[in-house]
Structure 1
Amino acid sequence: MIKLIECPRDAMQGMPDFIDTAIKAAYINQLLEIGFDTVDFGSFVSPKAIPQMRDTEEVLSLLDLHRSKSKLLAIVANLRGAEDAFHFPEIDYLGFPLSVSETFQQRNTNASIAQALETVETIQNLCQTKGKEMVVYLSMGFGNPYGDPYSPELVAEFVQKLDDLEIKIISLSDTVGLADNKLIKELFKVQFEAFPEIEFGAHLHSRPESISEKVEAALEGGCRRFDGALKGFGGCPMAKDELVGNMDTEIMIDTLESKGYQLDLNKRELIEAVKLANYVFQSPL
């Protein structure tokens, strides 16, 4: 079974102009009508670091969750953010960005890898007592632009540490679009074989012309969980100066369906969401 995770949070967070809270909520409510497995809707992080996400709590209060089968995921970068997220029973998943790059970990969460791992352990322990599940995003999982050490073996070392903490969902993240198809296929294949009890996801960033082949490479490696954003908007503002867009959800859907996968999505609501995305991300705000 394919799981599609739609990421309006990732699409919005790097936008230079603040998107009105009501517009954010209207857009996410439209996404909730489509039937995605999960919607990554917001983050509990410092408003100084990510000003766009300063209204996540307000947005959550405006979401109509009664008719939607989608689960909600919120990103946290430290214990304080996790404690804020724990107040909301509507949130199913807490996502944490752990990096195999020391430079990016510092840039993204203002902490070392060692400190971040300690935070992961603390949040995971709390998730287990509070009925939520942790999703760890292993960022710079396919290489980094900083010259920090990288190898598939290093990724496996991180996965082993997370497995020891009983993390059950790990999303391998190509934060700056460096991954080639061979690496994508092999990295997923090796991880699935070594850790069959873990659900591995693909959070890839890509130029539009490379999306289909990256999806196919991940599929061949065994991946069945994919993050994306309508129209491919977004990217990580902490990674480098130029944003590399998210995987375009429409292209991913077309690719997956061409391979015979049944996604059980409401296409009429998807069309309406694409129209709204064009307004949210391209019109003057």
Structure 2
Amino acid sequence: MIKLIECPRDAMQGIPHFIDTAIKAAYINQLSEVGFDTIDFGSFVNPKAVPQMKDTEEVLSLLDLHHSKSKLLAIVANLRGAEDAGHFPEIDYLGFPLSISETFQQRNTNKSISEAFNELEEIQNLCEVKGKILVTYLSMGFGNPYGEEYSPEMVLNFVERLDQLGVKIISLSDTIGVANPALITELFETQIQAFPNIEFGAHLHSTRETIGEKVLAGLKGGCTRFDGALNGYGGCPMAKDDLVGNMATEVMVETLEKAGHDLKLNKRELKEAMKLTQFVFTEV
């Protein structure tokens, strides 16, 4: 079964103007009507680092989750954020960004990789106590722009360490949109065969023209969990090409349905959500 994870948090966090809390909540409420498996709705991080997400708790209080089948995911960058998120029973998943790149780990969470692993272990333990599931995003998983060493074997080594900590969901992340179909297929095939007890996801960035081939490459490698954002909003601020945003959900839906997958989405509600993006992400 294909799982689609819609990521309004990733789409919103880089928007320079502050999006009103009520607008955020209304948009996420609309997304919850579509039938996505999970909605990455907010983050519990330092508001100075990500000011757009400073109202995540308020947004959560405005969500109407009674009739939604979608689960909620919140991003955390340290144990304190995980403890804050852990107080809310509505949140099912905590997402933590771990990077293969030492440079990006420092830029993203102000920690070394070694420190990040220590933090991750504490968060994993907290999740087990609080009844949450940790999703680890393995960023720079397909290469990086810093000239650092990279290889598929490094990815395998990181996954092995995460497996030893009991992590059950790992999303391989192409932070700057450098992955090609061959590498995507290779990485997923290798990881899924080596660690059948782990659920692997794809958090890829892409220009609109190459989304379809990347989705199909992931499918070929055995991946059935895909992150996206309507209209492809968001992306890594370090990307040199400002067109390298998130995978546009509507393009992924079209690709997956053409490949024969029944996604069980409410197309009428999806169309309404698409209309809302123009209002949410455009400064008035």
Which TM-score tier does this pair reach, normalised by the shorter chain?
over 0.9
* Equivalence map 1:229-268=2 (5 Å): 229-237=229-237, 239-240=238-239, 243=242, 244-268=244-268
After superposition, the C-alpha distances for 1:236-285 in whole angstroms (9 at most, x for unaligned) are 23x34654200000000000000100100000000000000111113x24
The equivalent of 1:200 in structure 2 is: 200
Q: Distance in 2 between matches of 1:74 and 1:25?
A: 14
* 1:54 has 2:54 as partner: yes
The equivalent of 1:14 in structure 2 is: 14
The equivalent of 1:103 in structure 2 is: 103
Structure 1-normalised TM-score? 0.98
One-letter identity of the residue aligned with 2:20: D
After superposition, the C-alpha distances for 1:47-106 in whole angstroms (9 at most, x for unaligned) are 111110000000000000001000000000001110110110000000000000000000
Q: Distance in 2 between matches of 1:242 and 1:17?
A: 21
The equivalent of 1:39 in structure 2 is: 39
After superposition, the C-alpha distances for 1:205-229 in whole angstroms (9 at most, x for unaligned) are 0000000000000000000000000
Q: Distance in 1 between matches of 2:42 and 2:254?
A: 26
**CA deviation after TM superposition for structure 1 residue 162, in Å:** 0.2
After superposition, the C-alpha distances for 1:146-184 in whole angstroms (9 at most, x for unaligned) are 111110000000000000011000000000000011000
Count of residues paired in the alignment: 283
The equivalent of 2:117 in structure 1 is: 117
* Equivalence map 1:85-96=2 (5 Å): 85-96=85-96
Q: Distance in 2 between matches of 1:183 and 1:240?
A: 19
The equivalent of 1:269 in structure 2 is: 269
Q: Distance in 1 between matches of 2:159 and 2:228?
A: 22
Where does structure 2 lack aligned partners over 5 or more consecutive residues? none
One-letter identity of the residue aligned with 1:16: P
DSSP 3-state at the match of 1:200: strand
Q: Distance in 1 between matches of 2:241 and 2:222?
A: 30
After superposition, the C-alpha distances for 1:122-145 in whole angstroms (9 at most, x for unaligned) are 000111111000000000000000
Q: Distance in 2 between matches of 1:55 and 1:148?
A: 36
* Equivalence map 1:46-85=2 (5 Å): 46-85=46-85
The equivalent of 2:181 in structure 1 is: 181
Q: Distance in 1 between matches of 2:148 and 2:15?
A: 28
4+ residue runs of structure 1 moved beyond 4 angstroms?
Answer: 240-243
Q: Distance in 2 between matches of 1:122 and 1:41?
A: 23
Q: Distance in 1 between matches of 2:239 and 2:222?
A: 30
* 1:158 has 2:158 as partner: yes
Q: Distance in 1 between matches of 2:55 and 2:236?
A: 18
Q: Distance in 2 between matches of 1:192 and 1:240?
A: 28
- Give me the identity figure in percent: 73
One-letter identity of the residue aligned with 1:134: L
DSSP 3-state at the match of 1:205: strand
The equivalent of 2:280 in structure 1 is: 280
Q: Distance in 1 between matches of 2:267 and 2:239?
A: 35
Aligned-residue Cα RMSD (Å) equals 0.8
One-letter identity of the residue aligned with 2:62: L
The equivalent of 1:210 in structure 2 is: 210
DSSP 3-state at the match of 1:204: strand
Q: Distance in 1 between matches of 2:172 and 2:154?
A: 13
One-letter identity of the residue aligned with 2:67: R
